Structure 1
Amino acid sequence: MIRLHHVPLARSFRVLWLMEELGLDFEVVPYSIRDGSLRRPEFKALSPAGRVPALEYGDEVLFESGAILQWLCEQHPEPGLHPAPGTAERARYLEFIAYSETIGCLVENLNLNRVFLRDPADASPVVIKLLTARLRAALGAMEARWQHDHCLASGFSAADIMFSYGFELARYYVRFDEFPRLSAYWDRLKARPGYQRAKARDGEQDLYDRDFYPLEEVGT
């Protein structure tokens, strides 16, 4: 029995996508980030911080998307999506796993300031502009050094799932035409059958009420 507790477009999408790539049979239990369901005691018994993902896998219960991805790759090593310790690409793999959360933290803070505040007037224009600049710089740093079709020279891995998930959210705050290499990379990933199956099961997101949040509308 495999059961993924999931919010559409949230970090749990990483786990959903990986399990589709691995060809696993699993159930998706949907939640909304807005209705208080993640704060219920029965969910917090699975994920102490009240955040998705939570994964029930047989007798195991895991939370934190990065940990779940690495654990699932260890349980299902046949596709080779997880370079083993001591192999040539292990260091770069770990770099991308960690850098994914650099992107994720910046986006999360932009979400707090631009999406979740009940009164938009409470947001700090200075903080929003700083976070947007840092997000653009973090993506630009990868754009400048991008060399291969995927994070690793050997091809697609769980690092691509971790890293490119940030694009799903960053696109609400930065224009990806600034990053042609990363845009082409993302297009390749979105063409994967595993990604498309995951998007079909993702559900309708209720995080954003528009396609883009221009920095120009933020006051001084």
Structure 2
Amino acid sequence: MSDAKPNVTLHHVQYGRSFRVLWLLEEIGLERFGGLEIVEHRIGTKEMRESDLGRISPAVRIPAIQIDGLEMSESGAIVQYMVETYAPELGRAPGDPERPAYLQWIHYAETQASLVEQLNLMMVFLRPPAKPSPIVVKLNVARLRQTLQGIEDRLGEREWLLPSGFSAADVMMGFNLFAVPYYVHMDAFPRVAAYKARIEAREANRRAVAREGPQRFYDKDFYPVPEA
């Protein structure tokens, strides 16, 4: 059996869903891989469609990853595969009593991320003379608040989503909590705010953030619901 370490190429947009994979790689430990190449893409341009990304990602979206001869897309699938292959301690295996909750939180993170994505499209990407619908924005903000309330209620006094400790479910969720405060004030969710602070304090997360640099996506600190 070869002892060669796999080389990783990550197709990435700064602070997009691919951040989950970048952070997970840091949690696993980059020393376990032969090398990491990050291919930066510019969201909202033709570059993504005209690049090689579509060969790897059927939806021509990030993240997409190449691990030697393996190619995958979809952040949840990549996170689950990488955990099962390289860091089982960050997952919960079949038969583990926490397995159902682990899977649920991974997919809950995508429910929440889809709301953030809709708000990003309406409030950041939609340019004049087009205007976002105040009713639709208000509805999506309300739904986003509800997803936060769900986390707030279930966290209780726990530090992480699962009682036994940190897992890849926190990696999936942590990406969302970077963006959520641009649309929802966090004062009503003190447990989530504390959870977010614990995520940001993790050394692996700090290393991933350092790789990203200052965010270039949002041009405001907060985006209120537009007036009708």
Query: What TM-score, normalized to structure 2?
Result: 0.91
Alpha-carbon distance in 1 for matches of 2:129, 2:154:
36
Alpha-carbon distance in 2 for matches of 1:166, 1:120:
29
Alpha-carbon distance in 1 for matches of 2:198, 2:218:
25
- Of 115, 118, 136 in structure 2, the residue corresponding to residue 127 of structure 1 is 136
For residues 44-83 of structure 1, what are the structure 2 equivalents within 5 Å? 44-77=54-87, 80-83=89-92
Alpha-carbon distance in 2 for matches of 1:74, 1:53:
18
User: Identical aligned pairs, as a percentage?
Assistant: 47
Q: Answer whether contact 2:28 2:87 (CA < 8 A) is retained.
A: no
Paired positions, count: 217
Alpha-carbon distance in 2 for matches of 1:22, 1:77:
6
Where does structure 2 lack aligned partners over 5 or more consecutive residues? 1-6
* 2:123 corresponds to: 114
Matched, 1:8 2:14: yes
For residues 26-175 of structure 1, what are the structure 2 equivalents within 5 Å? 26-77=36-87, 80-119=89-128, 121-147=130-156, 148-175=158-185
Alpha-carbon distance in 2 for matches of 1:104, 1:120:
27
* Deviations 1:182-201, CA, capped at 9 Å, x for gaps: 11111111111100011111
Return the offset for 1:27.
1.8
User: Aligned-pair RMSD on alpha carbons?
Assistant: 1.4
Alpha-carbon distance in 1 for matches of 2:50, 2:57:
10
Return the offset for 1:19.
0.3
* Deviations 1:75-124, CA, capped at 9 Å, x for gaps: 1135x001001111101101100100111111111111111112264311
Does 1 or 2 have the higher relative contact order (CA < 8 Å, sep 6+)?
A: 1
Q: Answer whether contact 2:182 2:223 (CA < 8 A) is retained.
A: yes
Return the offset for 1:49.
1.1
* 1:21 corresponds to: 27
Where does structure 1 lack aligned partners over 5 or more consecutive residues? none
